[in-house]
Amino acid sequence: MNDYTQLCKELLEDKIAEQLTYDESLDRDVILRDILHNGTEDIFGNMSGSRTCNTYEAEQFIGKSGAIFDDEILDLFKGMSDDYFTDTLKRGAETLDVVILELLSDRVINEMLEK
């Protein structure tokens, strides 16, 4: 789970930097709270449901991270429903990659707000 947690933080920090480029009056916590309450939209994936737009890259990251064998990640899926992991897996590596990030996002954002 560490790889996905770190990736989630990096993508959120990128989004914060992007937002600050457009509106310097905002601060990091305001942006994070906005993301927490209004959703992650395009932070973790595009309209097709892919972060990488490349199945091979998504498969490589999933494999490197050990995500499909990680009990903490599997528990996040079980929190949604018993079949959510299997249903997501059937949709492919790119979708699984994005959904893992989405499931981690609230926790990661809250941790970032605490610092």
d(CA 49, CA 33): 23
Is the model more confident about 52 or about 108? 108
Task: For 6-42, write each residue's pLDDT tens digit.
Answer: 999 999 999 999 999 999 999 999 999 999 999 887 8
pLDDT of residue 46: 72
Q: Would the pLDDT of 57 be above 80?
A: yes
d(CA 30, CA 50): 27
Alpha helix stretches (DSSP H) within 23-92: 28-38, 55-65, 71-80, 84-90
Domain that holds residue 13: 2-114
Task: Locate 105 and state its tokens.
Answer: 């996002």
Q: What is the pTM of this model?
A: 0.93
Q: How many domains does the chain have?
A: 1
d(CA 108, CA 8): 7
| Residue 82: other Cβ atoms inside 10 A | 9
Which amino acid, one-letter code, is at 67?
A
Taking the CA atoms of residue 97, residue 103, residue 109 and residue 114 in that order, the dihedral angle to the nearest 10 degrees is -130
Work out the widest C-alpha separation in the chain, in whole angstroms.
44
Task: For 75-110, write each residue's pLDDT tens digit.
Answer: 999 999 999 999 999 999 999 999 999 999 999 999
